[in-house]
Structure 1
Amino acid sequence: MKLTIAAIGRAGRGPERDLYEHYAGRIRWPLALRELEEKRKLPPPQLMQREGELLLQAVPTGATLVALDRRGKVLDSEAFATRLGTWRDSSVSDLAFLIGGADGHTEQLLQKSALVLSFGAMTWPHMLARGMLAEQIYRAQQLLAGHPYHRA
């Protein structure tokens, strides 16, 4: 299973990027980070639509989509690992995580997603969400392998 994280915005050097790279480097599944941005100043509804188009263009055709969104489902680490394991065992070849811009995702994009995932009711910076996602993917990998990392 190949993983793609498609995210609006470009992370510069700094602690958020370091956190992402720390965990991304430990993930055994092939993982690609695609950073995208719309440079035109558009009204929020149009910007959300355009960002959704950019995200979908950046992922492999036919990929199973997971949108990160505050309106999504909150899963604990074990449930997230189980979901990844199910996709892996069901021969999902491409899994794409979509991190939107400041205004989030359109309903249309959310409806195309196999899972809409939330990191909870709090608002998290989009650059930090990449590191948090990479850590949870790594944790899921370890859980699926029977490693005690999840107890740390």
Structure 2
Amino acid sequence: MRVTICAIGRLRAGPELDLIKDYIQRFDRTGRNLGLGPAQIVELEDKKGGGSTAEAVLVERAIPKGSTICALDERGKVMTSPDFADMLGRWRDQGVGDLAFVIGGADGLTKDLRTQADASLSFGKMVWPHMLARVMLTEQLYRAASILSGSPYHRV
């Protein structure tokens, strides 16, 4: 199951980007034998300043056709890491070929884009900077692959 993270905004070189690259590499390595991955990040920029509506168009174009879509949204479901791993495993077992996580810009995702999503995920009631949301998502992808593989990375 290929994973695409479609995110508004570009990260500059720095510790967040380094963490993201590391977790994606770990996810790809751990997930390969589990039918998970590869993962990629598609960064999108609304250079014309059209706001969340223009960003939604960019995100929709970046989502691979036929993908199962999971929106990262403050109104989404808060779940444990094992529950997240179970969700990924279920989608994989159901034959999902492409999974797209979508992360909006400063104003979040449009209602239409949230409605199109098959699932909605929240990292809690606090609002997180988008760069940290990407780090947290990629770490949770790696953690999910570790849980599904029986690795001791995730301790209960």
Q: TM-score, normalization: structure 2?
A: 0.92
Name the counterpart of 1:37: 45
Matched length: 148
What residue is the counterpart of 1:86 in the other structure? 90
SS in 2 for 1:151: coil
Q: Secondary structure at the match of 2:154?
A: helix
State the 1:15 CA deviation. 1.0
**Tell me, which stretches of 5 or more residues in structure 1 are unaligned?**
none
1:17 is aligned to: 17
Percent identical: 53
**Structure 1 position 126 matched with structure 2 position 134:** no
Of 33, 49, 54, which residue of structure 2 is paired with 1:50? 54
1:41 CA drift (Å): 2.6
1:7, 1:55 within 8 Å by CA — same for their partners in 2? yes
User: Which residue in the other structure is 2:143 paired with?
Assistant: 139
Q: Secondary structure in 2 aligned to 1:56? A: helix
Q: Check the 8 A contact 1:142/1:150 in 2, yes or no.
A: yes
Cα distance between partner residues in 2 of 1:113 and 1:36: 18
Q: Which runs of 4+ in 1 moved over 2 A?
A: none
Amino acid at match of 1:40: K
Residue in structure 2 matched with residue 114 of structure 1 by the alignment: 118
**CA–CA separation in structure 1 for the residues paired with 2:78 and 2:117:** 15
